[in-house]
Amino acid sequence: MHEKILILDFGSQYTQLIARRVRELNIYCEIHPWNKCPELTADIKGVILSGSPFSVRDEKSPKPDLSEIKGKMPLLGVCFGAQFLAHNFGGEVLPSSIREYGRANLSYVDADNVLTQGLTIGSQVWMSHGDTIKSIPDNYKIIASTADVEVAGYAIEGEQTFGIQFHPEVYHSLEGTKLLKNFLVDVCGCKQDWTPLSFVEETVKELREKIGTDKVILGLSGGVDSSVAAVLLHKAIGENLHCIFVDNGLLRKNEFESVLDSYKDMGLNVKGVDASLLFYTELAGVTDPELKRKAIGKVFVDVFDAESKKVEDAKWLGQGTIYPDVIESVSVSGGPSQTIKSHHNVGGLPDYMKLKVVEPLKLLFKDEVRRIGRSLEIDENILGRHPFPGPGLGIRILGDVTAEKVAILQEVDHIFISALKEDGLYDDVWQAGAIFLPIQSVGVMGDERTYENAVALRAVTSTDGMTADWCHLPYEFLAKVSNKIINQVKGINRVTYDISSKPPATIEWE
């Protein structure tokens, strides 16, 4: 068993960021709900308690049983976790007298404590809490403070237990990674050996043991996730992997042909299936975003069910599901996080489809998937490709989906993406695309009044899709693209640019 860190989730928006920071230090970790703590096996080197939207003073707040953890193995409480360890073991937590959100600076650091060694006075940290720790038990020692928060960090004497009020996992905590490394390496004794190569070796071995000589059907999209999943499965089971690329009629311009071509030299067994008519029929008149996703998912499953019957003795359906898909679709491992939207490849299969699901990437973030892909020597044109949603242009057309709207949006998207590549901006953008808006607006073309459609362009920067900011593309570039779209795409007379971040918006509009 590979050594790992256990993160107990109390519902914080930052829990997944804790996991990413731990992974960036080449240490494997898992997130579990606070009330579904797994067995504390020998491979667990330490435990981190996350933040929470709850107050420890609330009767309905999480109350984990730490009797087998606290004092028996390394433990770090972050924000709510730190307050819980203070409030429930003899300290006092009260409502903050001032708002404690955003940037703060360390005014005191215990240079001799293992957790805070190497941190500097004045270093910026990120606060996000409505309560504050007013007093700590006698055997607790303050190891960090800010101007407004005296107990910004503490250590329990005689234990490997620590609490910090700020969020080291957030980039705004400039020395947060240093603090986490102190805990993970110096306190927990982690070896930092969870690398792309080790992941590949362990995953291929697990896949061989799990699948054996069974046949697997995998849906390919041409994107990073499905490509990496396919290569991992191919390394494990070879020709028993049968890849299928479905044309749902919602792909980008010429994507069906180009994706099939891109896999020719990868040694994968790939079959292309044109099912666009089935998708258009199922989507006719559907306008609700969730119903569209479900309709697309239904046809996707139906097509795979039909194709699976053509592969004799197929037992498994492989999917490129990654961690953010799972997090946004369902609570992490059944935890308290709120559902934001459903994903077409998350949540299992209907009873009539007699295939088991295998998801080799479901605990990886997007940047980790790319690192794995590079270790597998997958073409950089595939690894560097922007994420593209499984439901495709179906969720970039607001309102009902028609073949005519798809054709218009394909042209708009092609102009936008091509221009990003031509101007050397493509790799500066994490994800980009065009949105067909459900409105028409008045325009003037050749001295004639027009009343045509509007589109929005969307480009964001991100590392994992959990948070994102809009790209500050040059005005000159946007002007050029807008002019080209309006001049070349019949039916469009207005172009807008989306400057919303995630949160509060999402990357896709639906």
Amino acid at 42: A
For the chain, count helices (H), then strands (E): 13, 18
238 φ/ψ sector (left φ>0, alpha ψ -120 to 50, else beta): left
Indicate the pTM of the whole model.
Answer: 0.72
* Tokens 């005014």 -> residue: 107
The Cα-based distances of 363 to 20, 318, 434 in angstroms read: 11, 15, 29
The residues that bridge with 243 in the sheet, in sequence order, are 218, 270
- Beta strands 241-247; 75-78: pairing state: unpaired
Neighbours of 330 (CB within 10 A): 16
| DSSP class per residue in 156-189 | ETTTTEEEESS-TTSTTSTTHHHHHHIIIIIIT-
Residues contacting 138, CB < 8 A, separation 6+: 90
The Cα-based distances of 115 to 155, 156, 180, 182, 424 in angstroms read: 8, 11, 8, 5, 43
* Tokens 């190891």 -> residue: 143
The residues that bridge with 92 in the sheet, in sequence order, are 135
Three-class secondary structure assignment of 451-502: EEEEEEEEEEECCCCCCEEECCCCHHHHHHHHHHHHHHCCCEEEEEECCCCE
Distance CA 224, CA 391 (A): 16
DSSP state of 106: E
- The enclosing H or E element of 82 equals helix 80-87
* Helix locations, 220-351, DSSP H: 224-237, 255-262, 276-283, 289-308, 323-329
Active-site positions read: 79, 167, 169
Neighbours of 120 (CB within 10 A): 13
- Beta strands 92-109; 124-135: pairing state: antiparallel
Q: Could you list the pLDDT tens digit for every one of the 510 residues in the chain? A: 679 999 999 988 788 889 989 999 999 998 888 988 888 999 999 999 999 888 989 888 999 999 999 999 999 999 999 999 999 999 999 887 766 677 899 999 999 999 999 999 999 998 887 888 999 999 999 999 999 899 999 999 999 999 999 999 988 889 999 999 999 999 999 999 998 888 999 999 999 999 999 999 998 888 889 999 999 999 999 999 999 998 999 999 998 888 888 887 788 889 999 999 999 999 999 999 999 999 998 898 888 788 888 998 888 989 888 876 765 544 434 444 444 344 444 444 556 567 788 999 988 888 889 999 999 998 888 888 888 888 999 999 999 999 999 999 999 999 999 999 999 999 999 999 999 999 998 987 766 778 899 999 999 998 777 778 999 999 999 999 999 999 999 999 999 999 999 988 889 998
